Amino acid sequence: MSFDSYKTIGEVLKEFTITATEANYILETDTVIREAFKEDLEFCLREFTVEESEYAICETIIFPLLKEVYRQYRDKFTLWSHKPITYDQQLTGIPDYILAKRSPLGKQIFENPYFVAVEAKSDAARSWGFPP
């Protein structure tokens, strides 16, 4: 079953007997953003029409932003883009982006993910009660 087969968080919690916990686990830290990145992002926002394509948004905004912040943490983590993952035979999928622990064996080894980003399609967003 793919990730998008689940329409609500409740379905996932029940299927895998997971307890939901809400907490503020992200600590605010100072991040140095290079001027070259800022200029490139401004150029992309000014010159490209990204609103009409999820791929354009991923390629011109989301991944470059993740990559810029990731630069400071590359000794601890590996940033994966569109890496297929399998939890078990029932649950598989391809998240847009994954932040995982950096393996001592090299960047080619996939360790436990800490963060998974998946684009919410408008149908899924509506079914979860978010505006499109």
- Nearest-CA neighbor of 115 among 51, 69, 59? 69
User: For 69-126, what is each residue's pLDDT tens digit?
Assistant: 999 999 999 999 988 888 777 778 888 888 899 999 999 998 888 777 766 554 443 3
* Spatial separation of the C-alpha atoms in residues 39 and 3, rounded to whole Å: 36
Global model pTM greater than 0.75? no
